[in-house]
Amino acid sequence: MVTRRQAREWALMFLTSFDLNPQENADSALAAFWEQQEELERERVASGERVKKAFCSVDVAVRASLEEMKTFAESRVKGVCAQRRELDARIEAHLKNWKLYRLGTVERNVLRLGAWELLNCADVPSPIVINESVDIAKYFSETKSGRFVNGVLDNLAKEIANQKGAGEWTPAK
């Protein structure tokens, strides 16, 4: 089965690539991304590497979970792309003596993804969003990145909670 963690990793991979190589049409870039992921899996399977098959699986349940998690990843990608300026401003407000453009590409996009989920996914508790973001940052970057991401997203989560309590904030639909 494909997990939400894998979907978040795919979303991060796409966002990082898109950040480094901006294109005018995110939808066509997303279609190319999925084709590339499928081809990479085929190559790994053909080389004899032990791979948890998703794209190449014939199992109906695995294919269903793949489609569900592709939709999950795409919702995050499209949400981050649509709200990028707002997300960047919210994140930068919590960076002490830093600017967003100075961050590593992985860290910048993990923060965007985590911030988007904190702001738009009321069904996902903030500790889960933060934990997933920290783990993904550590996996794709380095251990220190996890602490940094944790601090920024924790502060953002507290700000959002305070705004909710004051009636100032409502999640985007």
Lowest mean pLDDT, pick from 1-10, 47-56, 122-131, 150-159: 47-56
> In this structure, what are the phi and psi dihedrals at residue 169, rounded to the nearest 5 degrees?
-125, 140
> Under 8 Å CB-to-CB from 89, ≥6 apart: which residues?
none
pTM of the predicted protein model = 0.91
Closest to 65 in 3D by CA, of 7, 114, 121: 7
Confidence of residue 116 (pLDDT cuts 50, 70, 90): very high
Confidence of residue 65 (pLDDT cuts 50, 70, 90): very high
Rounded to 10 degrees, the C-alpha dihedral 120/5/153/101 comes to -100
| pLDDT value of residue 87 | 98
Confidence of residue 26 (pLDDT cuts 50, 70, 90): confident
Confidence of residue 173 (pLDDT cuts 50, 70, 90): very low
Average pLDDT over every residue of 92-117 = 95
Closest to 28 in 3D by CA, of 19, 38, 18: 18
pLDDT value at 168 more than 60: no
18 alpha carbon, distance to own chain's centre: 12
pLDDT value at 172 more than 70: no
C-alpha to C-alpha distance for 166 and 84, rounded to whole angstroms = 25
C-alpha to C-alpha distance for 76 and 161, rounded to whole angstroms = 21
